[in-house]
């Protein structure tokens, strides 16, 4: 969203507290820093804590890159109850006396890793005929959500007790941890819901970068990370001043001289970050010996 405010370009790796929606978190950062433009890179449920990437100014142009990054979660599943929201906030809709052992849990984990199909929770932000699923669910409608492909790189049991178990999951975009807890319970012959959830990492943003709202109040603008933070894994194409000026005007670059062609060949075709004098100039795509601007930064 654009509004009057200060020109701030960069990221905040917010350590979101429990009980706060992602939209409410943006509102608090807006009050603290007063950025003219702000958005987040991946919603966290109110129950969840941990890394909520907040983009400001020109960094909002890089939000798709953080959304596509691999994420790491730790979470706890409580066995014996299924809840309407698949987490602690919902009402109980089913119960089971069965409690899985650690051995039984480990035995099913391979079924939930790799490329799998997952049905999102009924209380989710997915749109159905223009309406959010959670709005339909709250109004009492039976929400019919289709299974979706997601990727889970790893899923490990951290600890197991009689009524609950803790896990660490590394997964791709679109994965619902609430669905994962629900489905593991059913696979184990019981039911379950998420009692605690923390996002420890989103791409290059980890807990070492994280800052609480209280600390942000104290540090202010010094906590802002560079726009380039989330582009760490993208090849960098170094430019001279003339090349940078042409890209900033939205013009493509054509490389003919052998040294310049070699520059491109080393990077390969596809997305790259064009850089001049250490600053991001544009997100570009390389096709053969031509470079096309996709997103231009005004830094």
Q: How are beta strands 290-296 and 253-254 bridged, if at all? A: antiparallel
Answer yes or no: are the C-beta atoms of 292 and 250 closer than 8 Å. no
**What one-character DSSP code corresponds to residue 153?**
E
Q: How are beta strands 290-296 and 92-95 bridged, if at all? A: unpaired
- Of 156, 11, 162, 14, whose CA–CA distance to 73 is shortest? 156
Q: Tell me if residue 45 is catalytic.
A: yes
Question: What are the helix and strand counts (H, E) for the chain?
Answer: 8, 18
CB-neighbour burial class of residue 293 (10 A; exposed 0-12, middle 13-18, buried 19+): buried
Strand partners, 253: 291
Residues in the chain, overall count: 299
Which is the catalytic residue, given 45, 86, 87, 183?
Answer: 45
Host H or E run for residue 298: none
List residues with catalytic annotation.
Answer: 45
């Amino acid at each position: 969203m654009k509004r009057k405010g200060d020109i701030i370009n960069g990221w905040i790796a917010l350590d979101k507290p429990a009980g706060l929606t992602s939209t409410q978190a943006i509102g608090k950062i807006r009050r603290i820093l007063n950025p003219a433009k702000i958005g987040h890179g991946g919603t966290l449920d109110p129950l969840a804590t941990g890394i909520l990437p907040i983009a400001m100014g020109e960094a909002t142009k890089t939000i798709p890159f953080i959304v596509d990054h691999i994420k790491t979660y730790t979470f706890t599943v409580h066995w014996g109850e299924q809840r309407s929201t698949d987490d602690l906030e919902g009402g109980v809709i089913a119960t089971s006396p069965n409690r899985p052992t650690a051995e039984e849990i480990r035995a099913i984990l391979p079924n939930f890793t790799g490329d799998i199909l997952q049905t999102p929770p009924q209380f989710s932000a997915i749109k159905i005929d223009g309406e959010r699923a959670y709005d339909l669910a709250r109004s009492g409608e039976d929400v019919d959500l289709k299974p979706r492909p997601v990727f889970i790189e790893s899923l490990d049991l951290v600890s197991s007790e009689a009524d609950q178990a803790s896990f660490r999951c590394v997964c791709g975009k679109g994965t619902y941890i609430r669905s994962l807890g629900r489905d593991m319970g059913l696979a184990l012959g019981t039911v379950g819901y998420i009692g605690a959830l923390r996002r420890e990492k989103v791409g290059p943003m980890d807990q070492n970068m994280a800052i609480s709202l209280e600390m942000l109040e104290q540090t202010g603008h010094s906590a802002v990370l560079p726009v380039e933070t989330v582009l760490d894994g993208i090849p960098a194409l170094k430019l001279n001043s003339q090349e940078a000026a042409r890209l900033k005007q939205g013009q493509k670059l054509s490389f003919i001289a052998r040294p310049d062609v070699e520059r491109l060949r080393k990077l390969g075709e596809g997305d790259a970050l064009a850089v001049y004098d250490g600053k991001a100039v544009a997100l570009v795509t390389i096709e053969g010996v031509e470079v096309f601007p996709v997103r231009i930064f005004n830094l």
